[in-house]
Amino acid sequence: MKIFPHFSIVLLFIAIISAPLRAETKSWSPLGLAIYPNMQFPSNNSSDIYGLSLSLLGEERNNIYGINLGGGAKADNIFGIGIGLLFLAEKKFEGIQIGFLGNGNSHFNGVMISGLFLNFGGGYPTSHGLQIAGFCNVLSSLRTIEGVDETLVGGQIALCGNLADHINGFQMALFGNGAYGIKGVQFTTGYNFALDCYGLQIGAVNNVETLYGMQLGAVNFAGELHGLQIGVVNIAESGRGVQIGLVNAFGRAGEDRLILPLVNWRF
């Protein structure tokens, strides 16, 4: 006896009829249509969409639950799949966003894909997922919100560069990566920077204040090294570790710096 298809239909029916309860007293609709925010159905900008939303140049809603296609959307919360020009969730996004121009969210759990410009997130302590951008990814409050540093559990991939307050995962870009703190990997053909790195930096130039891990590049600099540097030029001002390269400098300039070819170490 095939009960699962019937059970799924029952669940779908319950979800539809319970939509007004979830929406509380706010207006809602299973379908949203818009040419632009001032020409849309339902016309109320504070309405919720539970289902499918279609727009030509964009729309403005309170919350969107489901599938959004077209020009894009601005809403407090977006849950589901969005494919269009530009998406902005002022509070939270969960799902998949594909914005040709870009995506912006305070907090996201899912995947953000920007074809042309950037993915931006900021203002919430922790987000989970993946940012992919044709230009750059930003997950940072830029320290404009006191006491809030963003943490991305996941990764950033961009053609130009990535910026994050904190990354538990990886950053990958053609020209550069930057983070206040990273637990994972930074990879670029250009410049990597981090205040604190617990993991691996791979790039033409790697720069970190405190490193617990490894740097691999043409030029490596660490204010405090606990690990390994492999490159043409390796510089560490303090710490303990091993340097392998053409020029290896360990210690502070003018104080206890020791410069050796090929291999240098301090324990």
Q: Whose structure tokens read 């894909």?
A: 113
Residue 262 lies in a domain: yes
- The fraction of the chain above a pLDDT of 70, given in percent, is 85
Residue 229 lies in a domain: yes
Residue 84 lies in a domain: no
For the chain, how many residues are written? 267
Mean pLDDT of 143-157: 73
- The yes-or-no verdict on residue 78 having pLDDT over 70 is yes
- Report the C-alpha gap between 221 and 177 in whole angstroms: 15
Please state whether the predicted TM-score (pTM) of the whole model is above 0.95.
Answer: no
Read off the pLDDT of residues 176-210 as tens digits, 9 standing for 90 and up. 999 999 999 999 999 999 999 999 999 999 999 99
Residue 221 lies in a domain: yes
pLDDT of amino acid 58: 82
- Report the C-alpha gap between 234 and 35 in whole angstroms: 58
**160 contact partners, CB below 8 Å, separation of at least 6:** 133, 135, 136, 173, 174, 175, 176
Among positive and negative, which fits the CA dihedral 5, 7, 10, 11? negative
Residue 226 lies in a domain: yes
Q: Whose structure tokens read 């993915």?
A: 119
- The fraction of the chain above a pLDDT of 90, given in percent, is 54
Residue 231 lies in a domain: yes
| Domain that residue 241 falls in | 205-267
Read off the pLDDT of residues 15-28 as tens digits, 9 standing for 90 and up. 444 444 444 546 88
Token pair, residue 12, equals 């779908």
Residue 260 lies in a domain: yes
Q: Which of 143, 144, 164 is nearest to 153 (CA)?
A: 164
Number of domains in the chain: 1
Categorize the per-residue pLDDT at 219 as very low, low, confident or very high, splitting at 50, 70 and 90.
very high
Residue 34 lies in a domain: no
- Report the C-alpha gap between 84 and 99 in whole angstroms: 5
More confident residue, 10 or 48: 48
